Structure 1
Amino acid sequence: MKFTNGYWLMRAGVDALFARDIYEIHPGSEAIDVLAPTRVIAERANTLNQPAFNVRLTSPAEGVVRVRATHWRGGRRGIGFPLNESADRGYLSVETQGNGDGEAGERGASATLHAGPLAARVVKGPEWNLEFLGADGEPLTASRGKSLARFALSDLANVTSEPVGEFGVTMTGLAKDESRTFTSIQLSLGIGETVYGLGERFTAFAKNGQSVEIWNEDGGTASEQGYKDIPFYMTSAGYGVLVNNRGHVSFEVGTVNTEAVQISVPGEELDFCVIYGPTPKQVLERYTALTGRPADVPAWSYGLWLTTSFTTKYDEATVSSFIDGMAERGIPLSAFHYDCYWMREFHWTDFEWDRRWFSDIESTLERLHREKGLHLCAWINPYIGQNGSMFDEGVDGGFLVRNPDGTIWQTDNWQAGMALVDFTNPAARAWYKAKVKALLGQGIDAIKTDFGERIPRDVTWFDGSPADTMHNWYTQLYNETVFEAIAEVYGVGQACVFARSATVGGQKFPVHWGGDCESTFNGMAQSLRAGLSLTSSGFGFWSHDIGGFEGAFPDPAVYKRWLAFGLLSSHSRLHGSTVYRVPWLFDEADPGLESLPAGQSAVDVCRDFTRLKLSLMPYLYAVGLEPHRNGTPVMRSMFMEFPDDHACRLLDRQYMLGPSLLVAPVFTYSGDVDYYLPAGGWTNWFTGERVVSADGCWRHECHGYDTVPLWVRDGSLLVTSPGAMRADYDYAEDPLVNVCLGEGAAAEWAVTRMDGSCVGFRARRVDGSHVEVTRDDDGAFRARLGTSGEVVSGEGTVVLR
């Protein structure tokens, strides 16, 4: 949100108060309180008729400093997120230098809050000066000069405010219609410092130069809007920032001030946390400890999901033809998903199967479980159409959101006369949870929790929450309710949702997918950028619609390139809008198929990459435990894995799948792709080629549909199970260990079984030509050097040459 006109002037109708002096510092044992007037106080008379900010510095956890800056304590203030504060305060101390006892004199006195390796220091003097220091005192970021501000908007103000539209009915697009006052701060950026995160953003991966509004919208993937807006960013300087506000937060990333990130919120208080790393993974470890770690996901969820697609016509016969068709073509399926039309039109969401097309659905679901070995998913949303059975139940029980006059809030946008479940009401949550459990009782294993972004602002909530704080927060209560229902039925670690919208803390309820992407190469690239931004924001798992969602019929080339990308993602789903996404339809529509070499059809590509992913499960399942343990995502940006390599800071067309695999999807019809290998040694998965570079190197290649740039990092033991036909199996049963030591002397990897038991594998270089590989429990395994060497079998120990 831009309040200024260039660097020097205010926009018309905007009055600004800036913190200009740190007049008093009051250090305590666990906090520092600061009085910051909006002019330099030269004498006591200057304190009359003088606005001031009250700023409080505390620490909720080691390596985290929280700042709350308030103009009027009785004015409008935001509601924050639940934070997991540390009970052990042993890491915390306050240091003073000079006269830091609150007296007005002695300019230059200072107080420093030490939160373990992170420190925040304020200095008395005729200037606002708050700085954050990392280990060894290195500067991270600071707020100085005309940085902390309170803006008041008059009727003349033309400051724009996002979002606008039907569900922002109290806003006309001008900031003054949201609030007459805003509190803002600027946090400095160093030269070359890059900014990441802010949730699912389809714009460039590095956010420098962007204006970002934290306000969930159903805006597709080709705009600046996002379904999962997270007021958290991290930077290449070794820290992250969480704005602790559930409502609308505006970020100007090097825009209104090219040397800073400006943060603004409606009202009279700004609450934020600075989170120290210094590595990106350490920032995420602290951030997810503060806001919640992702739950573990069931092993079966990593396999291929097939859906009915969105507006397609389907019944039990159609579903069976898809499932049988995949099996006949040798393509292993893990999950089948019933999208919207399992319920009768005009009835969404009432949790009742449309018996015109699914007359004996319980028997069908049982057969799909027993005979096909499938897990099953069903689509829902929190919108209650007035023609469904749940509408009257919701009205009678008081479970629906109301207008200020007490009537039920309704709209015709989506389902005729639909209302909205009020998840702030515990009874409404119990009611909705019971509906979910009844669906699980019929044989459903997972729930796709669609929507959750279209939340109005002109309503009242059961618990009295201010309307503007519920727009983004609503999705948290919605997904939490459904996730809890599944966990209560199937157990912790077996619960899985497929969610579209999220806010801070939403990472606790995986999995999330990237929304309604275009069925183009651009849509594919947009999706990857968004996924990397989301996993840079605390989310451990991420998926996207293979082939794209929008569009009547994706180009077969786009579909096949997307298959490789999608099946080398944490979760993989075939889904579309108006057209089924089974691969043989794309072969039937491809006039050039007969001229392609063997293995290039959509069926071939889908089969081969699905089987590749299943073979990687001993590796992927172990990697998938990291989000819950330490907050590190399965799919991660090159910057996250190689933060000291400056060439990796802007890369958004490739990624790391866990610590060992580099993936560069192909975004062209021709198969041409350019990508970067960081310094060190790498082994090509498909060819066994070795590349060693002291400084990193760029590569240009041309790929058919059956390969992508997929490289194994030196120092890796990549444990696989070639021939696997499902995602959930014993990962330690006769695995193949691909030894990619490079020039290293040793490496190790622990395979985790689904029951939680672990089997360790170790490799050590015996001499220049021999490598010894051992298995901790002396069981059988196979091993090879690289990805194309001779396979040697043994028990307990294998020697490779």
Structure 2
Amino acid sequence: MKFSDGNWLTLPGFEIMSPVQAYDPRAKEKEIQVYASPRDLTPRWAMLDVPLLTVRLSSPMEDVIRVSVHHHKGGAPLKPEFRIAEQENTTVTTGLNEDELWIESGQLKASICRGGDWGISFYKGDKRITGSGHRAMGYITRDDGQTFMRDQLDLGVGENIYGLGERFTPFVKNGQSLDIWNRDGGTGTEQAYKNIPFYLSSKGYGVFVNNPGLVSFEVGSEKVSKVQFSVEGEQLEYFIIGGETLRHVLQNYTALTGKPSLPPAWTFGLWLTTSFTTNYDEDTVMSFVDGMKERDLPLHVFHFDCFWMKPLHWTDFEWDEAVFPDPRGMLSRLKEKGLKICIWINPYISEQSRLFDEGEKHGYFLKKQDGGVWQWDRWQPGMAIVDFTNPEACRWYGDYLRELVDMGVDSFKTDFGERIPTDAVYFDGSDPHRMHNYYTQLYNQVVFEVLEEKLGKGEAALFARSATAGGQQFPVHWGGDCTANYDSMAESLRGGLSLGLSGFGFWSHDIGGFESTAPADVYMRWAAFGLLSSHSRLHGNQSYRVPWLFGEEAVDVMRFFTKLKCRLMPYLFGTAVDASVLGLPAMRAMVLEFPEDYGCHTLDRQYMLGDSLLVAPVFSEDGQVDFYLPAGTWTSLLTGETVQGGRWISEQHGFMSLPLYVRSSSIIPMGAVDDKPDYDYADGLELHIFAPVEGKEMRVTVPDMKGNPALTVRALLQEGKLSIQVEGAGSKAWKAVLRGCMESLSVEGGQAEMTDQGLCVTPHAGISELKIRY
């Protein structure tokens, strides 16, 4: 939201009060406070009829500084609020002298100027990273009586801003006006399903605005050297988040708002759906499932979209008997084929649903001001919305989900949750404007917790569309309604990378596009991209997405990349564990891994899959792809070809290939199973060691399916010899190797021997990849 008319004037209808003086500064034990005055209060007359802003700075955890500003604090408590995980015993120092009032936490320091113009400066170490200066902070009134709070933080020369949720607009957010307001607008507009009031700066810090309602960002768009954020009301709170690197900033942000849960291993396999408005019954479903098996296409999850329920009755949680007369038996038959089951739900209840009268009677729906049920006809006739601020409504809604889990359902696609009204009344008195974005958090939490309760910790997984800050705790999320073309494939990736820089660990998208039907080349290129994503799902709108409908070559492509993903699961699931423990995304924008390389700061058509794999999807029919490799030696995982980085590369790829490169000094553990994602990763494990660097230790941990370490592999090249140590419970075969059973060991690319320190390999001259298996 803009308030300025150029550099000097204010837009008509607004009045801005900005501080010019820090008055009555106080340094407490773990907090500093100052009154920000719009005029000099030295003469006594100036203390009359003067509005003040109270500014408090504190630290909820190391390397994080909270800035709280209010004009009038006497309003009613604001609900809902984000859950902030404050850490006890955080070491905080404060101080006050003639020049400044300051607070320090970890490597982060904030200083308020006591002399001259008003200003707050933020430092990481001794380097100033940003600040709020003259006329930046403001209390704003509009002619209609609405009030706003804003601040403007400095945007330096060459500084890029990322994140703010799953946004499909340009990856670098500089120059954009962005409202944090969940909307159902597809992937081709400025609207977003997942709006997160957090941004990451290329200078190595993050900013989180602690307001679940509408936060309006002007990123170098109102003032070209400022990032402005504003909220309605009398209060503003934001956090400056530091860390040694961008990775550490994300770790600190997710420590504050919640780490991603670890999805079960089976979710990383291939998902197939009925698609949305297609005609299907059990015969159709079984023909898809059997067709995949006949063609040696590994399939792991089957998803039933909306029409598993009777049309116009959504949501009633009843199988449409005209189409599925024996749902329990059908699910059992699918389970016998080794599949997990996901079904579509949403939080909206049609007036035709069997649940409507029950929900109305007990007060389980959002209400109008007059006490009646809030309804409209968008999506479903006479649609009501479940009020998840009512604990009884949560139990009621969850009980129907429990019945479905007992029937054999393993996961729920929690669709919708964006079109939430701002004129509704909530059971707990929450402000409807603040609930518009936050509603999805309650919705997804209820469903996730039902799955945890019924299936056990570590077994819950959603396929969710909408989210707000903290929503990363309830994975997996997918990118919404994209179109079946290369442009939409690219915009989907931009959205996923932005979401990853907003604290979300796991992300998916509709392979082949949702709207329209892709030509075969788009489908095949998207298949490679989709199966080298965190999660992989085939889904569409008015047509099916089984690969044989796109030609026999599409079947081959799907088979190749699905099996490759299954074999990569020891590496990919290790990446997933890192995402849940550290708060890092599985699919990482290049700037996150290589912040020191300015060539990576704007890249949005490639990404790192975990620490070691670089993926550059192909966005053209002819297979031409241009991508950037940071400095170092990179080895193609598919061909073994070695390339020196620090430059742009141009390659031509067929449909069975794409740029998939491994960075130097990497260990990629590959499994022995290629037809499912959930297996004993240590059993039959291959270690692929790429371009070791003299004196640089390499390390990788292979987890079990619960996320616990099974094997930890360390490797170190010294004087031309690579020493390898394998630790942990692991498998009996690897323990045997450690005991010196050389007859069970195979090494490609070098000569192996056992020493007192473990396995030692002398690489052959010019070799870039060692393969070790037993």
TM bucket, shorter chain: over 0.9
Paired position in structure 2 for 1:369: 335
Q: Is the counterpart of residue 271 in structure 1 residue 271 in structure 2?
A: no
2:120 corresponds to which residue?
Answer: 130
Mapped contact 2:673–2:679 kept (Cα < 8 A): no
Q: 135, 145, 152: which one pairs with 2:134?
A: 145
The reply on whether 1:586 has 2:536 as its aligned counterpart is no
Q: What SS does the aligned partner of 2:283 have? A: helix
- Cα distance in 2 for partners of 1:744, 1:734 equals 28
Structure 1 residues 417-476: Cα deviation after superposition (integer angstroms, max 9, x where no partner) = 110000000000011111111111100001100000010011100000011111000000
Q: 1:115 aligns with which of 105, 108, 114?
A: 105
Post-superposition shift, 1:111? 1.4
Match of 1:653? 605
Task: Report SS of the residue matched to 1:666.
Answer: coil
Residue aligned with 1:432, SS: helix
Q: How much has 1:369 moved relative to structure 2? A: 1.1
Residues 1:412 and 2:401 aligned together: no
Task: Tell me, in whole angstroms, the C-alpha distance in 1 between the residues paired with 2:132 and 2:77.
Answer: 21
* Structure 2 counterparts to residues 504-519 of structure 1, below 5 A: 504-519=469-484
Distance 1:460 1:263, change over 3 A: same
Structure 2 residue 669 is the aligned partner of structure 1 residue 719: yes
Q: Give, as a single letter, the amino acid of the residue that structure 1 aligns with 2:587.
A: M
C-alpha displacement of 1:481: 0.1
Q: How does 1:283-432 map to 2 (within 5 A)?
A: 283-370=249-336, 372-432=337-397
The aligned residue for residue 700 of structure 2 is 749
Cα deviation, 1:616-667, whole Å, max 9, x if unaligned, reads 0010011100122111111100000011111100000000000000000000
Equivalent-residue separation in structure 2 for 1:412 and 1:124 (angstroms): 57
Aligned pair count reads: 746
What are the superposed Cα offsets for residues 481-516 of structure 1, whole Å, 9 maximum, x if unpaired? 000000001111110000000001100000000000
The code of the aligned residue for 2:455 comes to Y
Instruction: Answer whether contact 2:164 2:199 (CA < 8 A) is retained.
Output: yes
> 1:710-738 deviations in whole A, cap 9, x for unaligned?
00111111010255210000000111111
Distance 1:338 1:766, change over 3 A: same
Whole-angstrom CA distance in 2 between matches of 1:761 and 1:46: 69
| Partner residue, 1:706 | 656
Shift of residue 140, structure 1, vs aligned partner: 1.3
Name the SS for the 1:422 alignment partner. coil
Amino acid across the alignment from 2:435? M
CA deviations 1:535-581 (Å, max 9, x no partner) are 00000000000001111x11111111000000000000000111100
Q: Scaled by the length of structure 1, what TM-score is found?
A: 0.91
In the alignment, the residues of structure 2 paired with residue 729 and residue 314 of structure 1 have an alpha-carbon distance, to the nearest angstrom, of 32
Distance in structure 2 (CA, Å) of the matches to 1:362 and 1:682: 51
In 1, Cα distance between equivalents of 2:74 and 2:662: 58
Distance 1:77 1:666, change over 3 A: farther
**Residue deviations 1:317-355, cap 9 Å, x none?**
000000011111111011000000000001101110011
Q: In 1, Cα distance between the equivalents of 2:630 and 2:561?
A: 25
Q: Aligned with 2:122: secondary structure?
A: strand
Selected match of 1:566 from 512, 525, 530: 530
Alignment-derived partner of residue 73 in structure 2: 73
Q: Does 1:576 align with 2:576?
A: no
Contact 2:693-2:717 within 8 A present in 1 as well: no
CA distance in 2, matches of 1:378, 1:53: 51
Aligned: 1:229 with 2:219: no
Q: Partner amino acid for 1:677?
A: L
2:592 matched to which residue of 1?
640
Deviations 1:237-273 (A, max 9, x none): 1110110001100000011111110010001111111
Structure 2 distance, partners of 1:701, 1:539, is: 31
Aligned to 1:453: 418
User: In the aligned structure 2, how far is the partner of 1:424 from the partner of 1:631?
Assistant: 28
**2: CA distance, partners of 1:765 / 1:534:** 37
Between stretches 321-330 and 51-60, larger displacement belongs to 51-60
More displaced 10-residue stretch of structure 1: 341-350 or 791-800:
791-800
1:521 aligns with 2:486: yes
Which amino acid is 1:456 matched to?
P
Q: Measure, in 2, the Cα distance between the counterparts of 1:607 and 1:434.
A: 39
Q: Which residue number corresponds to residue 486 of structure 1?
A: 451
Deviation at 1:226, TM superposition (A): 0.4
In 1: Cα distance, 2:298 partner to 2:751 partner: 25
Q: Write the letter of the residue equivalent to 1:747.
A: M
Q: Is contact 1:634–1:658 with CA below 8 Å preserved after alignment?
A: yes
Tell me the residue number matched to 1:207: 173
Residue type at the aligned position of 1:679: A
Tell me if structure 2 keeps the 8 A contact 1:761–1:773: yes
Native 8 Å contact 1:739 1:783 kept in 2: no
Contact persistence 1:717–1:748 (CA under 8 A): yes
Query: Is the 8 Å Cα contact of residues 737 and 784 (structure 1) preserved in structure 2?
Result: no
**Structure 2 partner of 1:662:** 614
| Cα distance change, pair 791–472 in 1 and its aligned pair in 2 (3 A) | farther
Moved more, 51-60 or 505-514: 51-60
Deviation, structure 1 residue 749? 1.4
Does the C-alpha gap of structure 1 residues 784 and 17 become closer, same or farther in structure 2, counting only changes over 3 Å?
farther
Tell me how far apart the structure 2 counterparts of residues 314 and 238 of structure 1 sit (CA, whole Å): 51
Alpha-carbon RMSD across the aligned residues, in angstroms, is 1.8
SS at match of 1:778: helix
Q: Which residue identity does 2:398 align to in structure 1? A: K
CA distance, structure 1, for counterparts of residue 142 and residue 754 of structure 2: 75
Say if 1:783 and 1:538 are closer, same or farther in 2 by CA, change over 3 A. farther
Assess, with a 3 A threshold, how the Cα gap between structure 1 residues 285 and 329 changes in structure 2: closer, same or farther.
Answer: same
Deviation at 1:775, TM superposition (A): 3.0
Structure 2 counterpart of 1:778, one-letter code:
K
Q: Does 1:736 align with 2:702?
A: no
1:511-542 CA distance string (max 9 Å, x none): 00000011110100000000000000000000
Per-residue deviation at 1:773?
A: 3.7
Cα gap change, 1:784/1:548 in structure 2, threshold over 3 Å: closer, same or farther? farther
Asked if the contact 1:77/1:268 (under 8 Å) is kept, the reply is no
**2 CA distance for matches of 1:224 and 1:471?**
18
Paired residue secondary structure (1:624): helix
Single out whichever of 382-391 and 120-129 deviates more from structure 2: 120-129
- How far apart in 2 are the matches of 1:487 and 1:191? 47
Contact 1:583-1:602 at 8 Å conserved across structures: yes
Partner Cα distance (1:763, 1:127) in 2: 56
How far off its partner does 1:42 sit?
A: 4.2
> 1:709-768: per-residue Cα shift (whole Å, max 9, x none)?
000111111010255210000000111111113333442212111142421223333643
The answer to whether the Cα contact below 8 Å between 1:76 and 1:268 also exists between their aligned partners in 2 is no
Return the offset for 1:797: 3.7
Alpha-carbon displacement from aligned partner over 1:137-170 (angstroms, at most 9, x marks no partner): 2111100100011111115xxxxxxxxxxxxxxx
- Measure, in 2, the Cα distance between the counterparts of 1:316 and 1:327: 17
Where does residue 622 of structure 1 map in the other structure? 574
AA in 1 matched with 2:287: S
CA deviations 1:152-190 (Å, max 9, x no partner) are 1115xxxxxxxxxxxxxxxxxxxxxxx711111000011
Distance 2:401 2:597 in 1: 47
User: Runs of 5+ in structure 1 lacking a partner?
Assistant: 99-107, 156-178, 589-600
Inter-CA distance 213–630: structure 2 relative to 1 (3 Å threshold) = same
